[in-house]
Amino acid sequence: MGIFWTSAGKQIQIKLVHKSANVLHLSVENTKADEERRRMLLFVLGTLFCFSVCVLLFRLSTGHAVFLLPTFIFGYLYSNVIKSEQLVLVKDFALQCSTAYANGTVRNSLIPIEYIQDIIINEVFYNLKVIFVLQVLTKGNLFRRKPIITLLQHLKPGLSCLKLIFEEIHSVLEIEDC
């Protein structure tokens, strides 16, 4: 479908994997995921190298935490680089959201179609900026604690991309715009 930008300025690619009258499968891929992982790995290795040099040359024992904290932070960030997010909508069944991390982990969530009231584009404050997000308004007792679910929340596509995804989802669900 094309190459777009996230609200943070990262390049993403939108792919229409499958579309029929009852099924929509969209994939939003982080085109720079491998580059982000390499950069994080270099930070971790650089921090560990500086740590080992300081320990060997200066016999620092109290300064260990100064080097270990950034190592743990970059290690955490390294394992949480998002590779892609996917939406699979089956008209009379459910909406499945999948997040694939660059380390191979995949997290899925499923929203049954009878609990979906509407899918909207909403503007929200995020890191002192106003960004647009795709959200599912839910109904029923199952989602009483969390009545609004944000889709594509990790990559945060820009407005032009969200409009395209919004139109595709609404064409399958046959929801009329108000």
Which of 51, 79, 107 marks a domain boundary? 79
Which tokens sit at 136?
């599912």
Domain limits for position 46: 36-79
Tens digits of residue pLDDT in 33-53: 888 888 877 887 887 787 777
Assigned domain for 178 exists: no
Strand order, beta sheet including 23-30:
2-5, 11-19, 23-30, 82-90, 94-101, 106-112
DSSP string for residues in 62-89: TTHHHHHHHHHHHHHHHHT-EEEEEEEE
pLDDT at 178: 46
Low-confidence ranges of the chain (pLDDT < 70): 59-69, 175-178
| Same-domain status, 140 and 114 | yes
Q: Helices (H), strands (E): how many in the chain? A: 3, 9
Q: Could you tell me the pTM of the whole model?
A: 0.77
* Structural domains counted in the chain: 2
pLDDT at 163: 93
Instruction: Report yes or no: 14 and 2 within 8 Å, Cβ to Cβ.
Output: yes
- Alpha-carbon distance of 7 to 3, in angstroms, equals 14
